[in-house]
Amino acid sequence: MEEVFEIAQRADESTPVLSVRGEIDVSTAPELRDRLLSVAQEGYSTVVVDLSEVTFLDSTALGVLVSGLKRFRAAGGDLRLVVTGRSVTKVLEITGLVEVFPIFDTVAGAVAS
Amino acid sequence: MSTVPADENTVELSIPAVPEWLALARTTGAAVASRWQFTYDEIADLRLAIDELCLTLIGPGGAERLDLAYSLDGSAIVVRGTVQPAAEVGTADTANGSPATAPGFTEASELSERILDALVDDHGSEANGSGHSAWLRKERSVAVT
């Protein structure tokens, strides 16, 4: 029943990319929070979170992303999202967060920004 | 399409009131809504709305079980979740005050509230004896004959 949830970090970019796969809800969002914290503690001020393989995203996940955004912006950087799926786009739209996050269609575009 | 038989218009689910089980609550909601001929987009909305509904109930912790009832009411699905404080299972403990007034217990987060407002036709929460309930209602767009 339960989908696989995993976060992969690409090490070949100057800007770290966290590629998330599966459903981000109250039970999996803490892992995303920990990974974002690790990236910040490694000294990066900007991170790309690739949500193109995410099939479900709830308010808990949004809370983690917003907290991350504040942290990275406080360090002079940013938290950029890659969003291609309709379900993720919709939840960002209805919460108004589509206006808050820098959102890209591709990882390459997000990294190059 | 066919009319839903009267004896199939309510489905109940009881799960541990912990985050790891919410996937079952929304998956069950999706399966029920599919059986009741909601559209793909409506089912996607319901999955998220049911998740948010459950979050408002288990968020504060302290409950052992989350009981859910998925009902077909005319052309709408009504989902009601109920939690009972764990203390009620054994000896009552009111040291922290009434659950009805515990901060955050009956109030969804701002994001949850926005999501529920956008995805369902109506929703609410209420004290239910010693426990709490939250409910949502979503109309089906396609008429079933």
Q: Which residues contact A25 (CB under 8 A, 6 or more apart)?
A: A56, A57, A58, A60, A61, B19, B22, B23, B51
Question: What is the domain-level CATH number for residue A101?
Answer: 3.30.750.24
**A101 has a pLDDT exceeding 80:** yes
Give Dmax (Cα) for chain A.
41
Q: Hey, what are B4's tokens?
A: 């839903």
A11 lies in some domain: yes
Which CATH number goes with the domain that contains B111?
3.30.565.10
* pLDDT per position as a tens digit, A66-83: 999 999 999 999 999 999
The total domain count for chain B is 1
Is B53 inside any structural domain? Answer: yes
Domain presence at residue B20: yes
Residues of A in contact with B26 (CB under 8 A): 56
pLDDT greater than 90 at residue A6: yes
Coil, strand, or helix at residue B130?
coil
Q: For residues A47 and A15, is the Cβ–Cβ distance under 8 A?
A: yes
Angstrom distance (rounded) from CA B7 to CA B51: 26
Contact predicate B54/B67, CB 8 Å: no
> At which residue do the structure tokens 């009601």 appear?
B80
Quick check: A1 pLDDT over 80? no
**A40–chain B nearest CA distance, Å:** 25
Q: Which residues, at least 6 apart from A93, have a Cβ–Cβ distance to it below 8 Å?
A: none
Residue A49 scores a pLDDT above 70: yes
Pairing outcome for strands A78-82 and A46-57: parallel
B136 touches A: beta carbon within 8 Å: no
Structural domain contains residue A85: yes
- Nearest CB neighbour to A25, from listed B23, B111, B118: B23
**pLDDT at position B24, please?**
96
Q: Answer whether residue B145 is part of any domain.
A: no
Kindly state whether residue A102 falls inside one of the protein's structural domains. Answer: yes
CA distance A87 to A56: 7
* Three-state secondary structure call for residue B3: coil
Domain that holds residue A99: 6-112
Please check whether residue A31 touches B, CB under 8 A. no
**DSSP designation for A98:** G
Which tens digits make up the pLDDT trace of B106-140? 334 789 999 999 999 999 999 877 789 999 999 99
Please classify residue B141 by burial: count the beta carbons closer than 10 Å to its beta carbon, then call 0-12 exposed, 13-18 middle and 19+ buried.
exposed
Q: Which one-letter amino acid corresponds to residue B120?
A: V
User: Taking CB atoms and an 8 Å limit, are B55 and A58 in contact across chains?
Assistant: yes
pTM of the full predicted structure? 0.86
Per-residue pLDDT tens digits for B26-70 = 999 999 999 999 999 999 999 999 999 999 998 767 788 999 999
Place of tokens 């299972």: B89
Mean predicted confidence (pLDDT) in A21-29: 94
Q: How many domains does chain A have?
A: 1
Rounded CA-CA distance B61/B40 in Å is 32
Domain that holds residue B120: 6-139
Residue A1: inside a domain, yes or no? Answer: no
Please report whether residue B1 resides in a domain: no
pLDDT tens-digit series, residues B88-103: 544 334 333 333 333 3
